[in-house]
Amino acid sequence: MLTLALIWNLMTPSPARADELVLHLIPAPTRTNWSSPRKLAMSAIRNEIVRHDGLKRHGIGHLYVELNCGGMKILTGTTSTGNTEERQALFKQGYGLGVLFKNYRGKLDAPAEVEQDLASTQSSGRSSFIRFLISPEACSRALGYWFEYQLRGYDRIYAGLNARPLKGESAGCTAFGASFLEVLGLLDPLFQEQWKTRLVVPRKFVGGPLTGKRVRIWKLLFAFSAGWDQDLSKGGLPVDFWDPEKMDQWIRKTSESLASGGPQPLEWPTFSSRLEASPGVEVDARNAPVPTGQVFDSPQVP
């Protein structure tokens, strides 16, 4: 179903702008430590209680999508409806690191909330962004994807880290943002290399339906010597996801390099940019070929 946020976007006039897609990255309040299962659990708990600037905590980081097509502006992101499900899965239901793979009830961030949050994080420099200047044809394709994503009901699911939106699996916040690049043929191999985290989670730390086990949080917090599996031979579960902190770090380093006259990192002209105190990268992809054909691999609409 179409959301009120979408209807508001369509009815609210905005100044005509060049066609563009902007991904706004907000890292966790303190860096998430993925070096071991225990350190991941500890940093997740720390980010839930640490003080932060901005209207929202973003304990695991977040991504907002901004799409400007002439006079139409989409400003949103995808998130869970609250943290109750996550807390119950981790502390009561014994999911352990199975929470990384679990789907939750989802919703779209409302434009007014996004604007307020970005105003705060941009003034403090906590957020970063990457802006793609795109052709009208690309903007039209992105809008079509945005409409169909909601018509299929994927906006009501906040998916696990491995979810692939174009396979009909819905998305988490960063996968949602990256899916727009995939739809427009702008998913450069460098992004795959620099923006992703890939791990194999030991099965003994995964509870819930995937294993049929209960894994208490204390098992993670006292796993002092445990690490990630090196391969899949031990029956571990792979995690392959778009990491908001890696994305943010790449943008910051690339913006600084470009500002100092560094080399072009992409096949399209790329420049350093800024929104208040937040660094950014601008990519001129207006001449990039626009993919054609259906967007989703799955034809089924729930």
Lowest mean pLDDT among 32-36, 130-134, 185-189, 270-274: 32-36
Q: Per-residue pLDDT tens for 122-155?
A: 999 999 999 999 999 999 999 999 999 999 999 9
Give residue 48's pLDDT: 61
Question: How large is the average pLDDT for residues 41-56?
Answer: 63
| Segments in the chain forming alpha helices (H) | 4-11, 37-49, 84-87, 111-124, 136-151, 173-183, 189-194, 217-221, 244-259
Of the pLDDT bands very low, low, confident and very high (cuts 50, 70, 90), residue 18 is: confident
CA Rg value for the chain: 19
Residue 20 backbone phi and psi in degrees, to 5: -155, 155
| Local structure of residue 196 (DSSP, 8 states) | E
Q: What is the C-alpha separation between 33 and 196, in angstroms, rounded?
A: 14
Of the pLDDT bands very low, low, confident and very high (cuts 50, 70, 90), residue 290 is: very high
Residue 286 backbone phi and psi in degrees, to 5: -65, -25
Instruction: Answer whether residue 57 shows pLDDT above 70.
Output: no
- Residue 131 makes CB contacts below 8 A (sequence gap 6+) with 20, 21, 22, 273, 280, 281, 282, 283
Give residue 147's pLDDT: 94
Q: How many helices (H) and strands (E) does the chain have?
A: 9, 11
Q: Per-residue pLDDT tens for 64-98?
A: 999 999 889 999 999 998 878 888 888 889 999 99
